[in-house]
Amino acid sequence: MKSEIEVFREFTRKKGLRNTPERETIIKEIFATHDHFDVDELYLRLKNKKKKISKPSIYRLIPHLLESGLIQEAYFEDGHFHYEHIYGHEHHCHLRCLRCGKTIEFQEKPLEKLEGKLAEEYDFSVTGHKLEVFGFCPQCKVDPHVAKVEDAGDPRRQR
């Protein structure tokens, strides 16, 4: 199987883009852990490793990573998107706690069938889907007054 770096090289070649060490550094960091990430976190992770990558370079790369299928948007929270690398992974969906943000990944079968049905019924060319299931995790449903896990920042949405 091709590495994510090779996939991106092919993508740039095909699209007339250019590959750079900065971009490969970012991609490597994205695939270094399985964590979801946002731009700021990614920027700080790189900074901590003494990689001098500017935020605009990250912002500029993200649309290409989405288009090349290396990453996808995982969810929108705290005023910005959180992403995850998906190349080399099975498609999965998220079950999220509305209170503490705890996220569980799960596979779903029924949706493959649904895509086909929708494609036929509405004459769409279906390329994918995004399913989020919301609720309260075991801790949060039992004791809704306990301190929030992610405290210091309410799950308030802002830009």
In terms of CB distance, is 45 or 96 closer to Zn ion? Answer: 96
In terms of CB distance, is 44 or 119 closer to a second copy? Answer: 119
Measure the CA–CA gap between 136 and 145, rounded to whole angstroms.
Answer: 13
- Local structure of residue 81 (DSSP, 8 states): E
Q: What residues contact 22, with CB distance under 8 A and at least 6 apart?
A: 53, 57
Which whole-number Å values give the CA distances from 152 to 26, 39, 82, 125, 156, in the listed order?
Answer: 28, 19, 18, 43, 11
Residue 33 touches DNA, criterion: CB under 7 A = no
Element (H, E) at 54: none
Residue 77 touches Mn ion, criterion: CB under 5 A = no
DSSP lists the bridge partners of residue 81 as 76
| DSSP 3-state of 45 | helix
In terms of CB distance, is 24 or 115 closer to a second copy? Answer: 115
Work out which of 84, 97, 100, 137 binds Mn ion, going by CB under 5 A: 84
Site for a second copy, residues 25 to 84, rule: CB under 8 A? 76, 79-80
Work out which of 3, 10, 47, 79 binds DNA, going by CB under 7 A: 79
Measure the CA–CA gap between 13 and 33, rounded to whole angstroms.
Answer: 27
Q: Which residues bind DNA (CB under 7 A)?
A: 9, 12-13, 16-23, 38-40, 52-57, 59-62, 78-81, 156-159
Q: Which residues bind a second copy (CB under 8 A)?
A: 76, 79-80, 95, 97-98, 104, 106, 108, 110-111, 113-115, 118-119, 121-138, 141, 159
Interface residues toward Zn ion, by CB under 5 A: 97, 99-100, 102, 137, 140
